[in-house]
Structure 1
C-alpha cells in the first residue's frame, strides 16, 4: 500500500486517543492524521501519532475535500459536517450511528455484513451502529450460523463513558462528594450509587439493517454507576433446542469464569488487543443466555471503526 492516506478524526479527546492507538496497530499506511476539534480540547491536550504531534484544527478550518476518510463521533446537531465532508468526496465513518436511520446509509459491523459496503457509492457515508447494537451483533452472529432464532432480549448496563467524558467526571465528583457526606445540588441528576433507564430509540432498527431476517429483538438499557465498560445480559430463543459450541475469533473471547467491566480492563491492560468478552454461557429451554462485556470506547468505537476502515479500503472505497 502507498503511504498516501489522509485521515481525520472528529471526536472527544479521549476517544481520539483510542482511535489513534487503533490506527497505529492497523496495517494501513497513513500519510497524515488530523484532529477536528468538534469538542474543544484543553490547552494541554495533544494527540500524537507514531510519536509525532497531530495537527488539531476547528471544523471551520477544514478542507474536507483533501481527506480520504473521516472518523466522526459527534452528535446529531453536528451532522452537517458529515454531509459536507461526504459531498466533497471524503468517505465518512459515522461512529455512533447517527445517520443509521437513513435508507441510503449502510449500517455495517466488521466481519458480519461487510458486503453492504457497496452501498457506500450512494452517499460516501457508512454507519457503525451504536455500541449496544455492535456488541450484541458480534455476540449472536456465531449462534446464527447454526440456529434459527425467534426472539432476542438484551439488557445493557451503560457506563458513564457511554454518554461522554463529562459524565465520567460528573460520576467521579458525585461519588467523592457523597462518600464525604456532601449532598448533591438540588435538581442534579444523581449518577453515583444509583441507576435509571435510558432510551433505546432506533436500536432495533439499526440491528435489523445488519440482520434483516431478525425482527423480534428487544433492547433495554440501564445507566449504571460504572466509569468504563459496557455489559449486556442476553437471552436468545429458538423454536428448537440450540446446540451451540462457542469458538473464539479475532473479535470475541469466551471465558469459563464470570467477567465484569473492571475485570475486562485488568485483562486488557496486560495484552495488546481488545475483544468482546463472553461468559456465563448456559442453556435455557429452546435457547441460551450469556453475559458480555467490552470497553465501549476502545473496542466498540475505536477498534471496530478502524477495522471498518480497513474493510472499506480493501474493497476500494
Structure 2
C-alpha cells in the first residue's frame, strides 16, 4: 500500500529537505504533493534525482484523501492549516513550534519516545521538536537509561540555516561584503553574523532567557523525563548547516566513561567519533548531509557528583527537522496506524 503525502512549506529549506529525505529513504508514497503559499504556487521543486513537482497553493488545497502531511511553513501558518488538514483525516507531523507543548499532542523523537505516538489520534497532529532539542535528547537517552539524568547545562552553537534561507543568504552576503569593504547590514539577525557569534535566538522572556532556551528545557522534559532540570544558552554562529552543543550532565547515579561510550555506541541514531587526538571529533562542516547525531569529547565532569560532559553535532535540517519528521511517518506505517484507521 502506498500513501498520499503532502509537504507543506515545500519551497523552504526544511521543506526541500523533507522532499529529499522522502525520496532518499524510498518512503512508500504513491503520490507526493508540494504545497506552499499562494505567492510560491506554480514554482517547481525537486523530488529525488529526477522528479520535479509543481507547487500548489496551500490556501486552496483540499486535504481529503491525504494520509500524511509534513508541515514546515512557519508557526502561524501551521496554526491555521494543520487543524484543517487533521480534520480532513490527514495525519499532520508539524515541524513548527506551535503545537509542541500542547498536552494532548505527542512531541516525538522516534529513538527516544516512540511510545508517545499512541495518543496521536486525539488531534491527528504530532509535533516535531526543536532542532537543538532533538540532537540533545538522542544523545541523552542511552545515558538516562543507565543512570538517570538529573540536570543538564548546555551551550549551543547553532547554524544560520535554523533561521531559514534568508538567514543563510545574509551570512553569505555579509561574509562577501567584509572582503570588499561593504559594511554588513543586519536584517535577519540583531547583529552582524559574519565573523561573529550572537547569544540570542528567538525573543527574550521576562526571566532573561530566550524562547529557544525555554524550548530546550520544556521539550526535554516532555520527551525524556519531567524531572530533568535544563539550563541552556543558545548561540547563533556563522556556520551554514549543522548545530553543535557542549553538554554537561549530572546524573542521579554513578556512570563511568566506559559505560557511557558503550551505551552511546549501541544507541540508535548515534555515532561516536571520539579519539583523543588532533581532529578526533566531529564538527558541523563534516556532518552536513548526514543522518546521525555525532558524539565526541566525552569525559568526566569533576565539578558535580556523577557528572559527564560531551560535544554533540547534527545536521539541523536533517535529524533536526526533515529526517525526524519522516522517521515519525515511517514509525506510524510500521505500527499500522493507517490500516487501523481504514478498518
Do both proteins adopt the same fold according to a TM-score greater than 0.5, normalized to the shorter chain? yes
Listed as ranges, the matches of 1:157-168 within 5 Å are 157-168=157-168
Structure 1 residue 46: deviation in Å?
2.3
SS at match of 1:277: strand
Residue 308 (str. 1) matches residue 306 (str. 2):
no
Moved more, 136-145 or 54-63: 54-63
Classify 1:221/1:213 alpha carbon distance in 2 versus 1 (closer, same or farther; 3 Å): same
Q: Aligned to 1:291, which of 306, 311, 327?
A: 311
Which residue matches 1:10?
8
Which residue matches 2:237?
224
**Distance of 2:164 and 2:186 partners within structure 1:** 22
Contact kept, 8 Å, 1:33 with 1:49, in 2: the verdict is no
Classify 1:216/1:10 alpha carbon distance in 2 versus 1 (closer, same or farther; 3 Å): same
| Larger helix proportion of the pair | 2
Which residue matches 2:141?
141
Q: Aligned to 2:271, which of 217, 232, 253?
A: 253
- Deviation string, structure 1 residues 284-309 (Cα, Å, up to 9, x no partner): 23211110111100222111111110
Contact kept, 8 Å, 1:255 with 1:278, in 2: the verdict is yes
Contact kept, 8 Å, 1:236 with 1:287, in 2: the verdict is yes
Aligned length: 309
TM-score (norm 1): 0.90
**Distance of 1:8 and 1:180 partners within structure 2:** 43
TM-score (norm 2): 0.84
Moved more, 241-250 or 179-188: 179-188
Classify 1:46/1:196 alpha carbon distance in 2 versus 1 (closer, same or farther; 3 Å): same
Residue 276 (str. 1) matches residue 293 (str. 2):
yes
- Deviation string, structure 1 residues 59-116 (Cα, Å, up to 9, x no partner): 1231111211100112222120111111111100012342112111110101211111
**Distance of 1:33 and 1:253 partners within structure 2:** 31
Classify 1:50/1:228 alpha carbon distance in 2 versus 1 (closer, same or farther; 3 Å): closer
Structure 2: runs of 5+ lacking an equivalent: 202-209, 275-279, 338-343
Which residue matches 2:33?
34
Which residue matches 1:57?
56
**Distance of 1:53 and 1:262 partners within structure 2:** 28
SS at match of 2:27: coil
**Distance of 2:72 and 2:236 partners within structure 1:** 20
Which residue matches 1:215?
228
Which residue matches 1:46?
45
SS at match of 1:154: strand
Structure 1: runs of 5+ lacking an equivalent: none
SS at match of 2:30: strand
RMSD between aligned residues: 2.1
Classify 1:62/1:43 alpha carbon distance in 2 versus 1 (closer, same or farther; 3 Å): closer
**Distance of 1:38 and 1:50 partners within structure 2:** 24
Contact kept, 8 Å, 2:174 with 2:194, in 1: the verdict is yes
Which residue matches 1:176?
176
SS at match of 1:71: strand
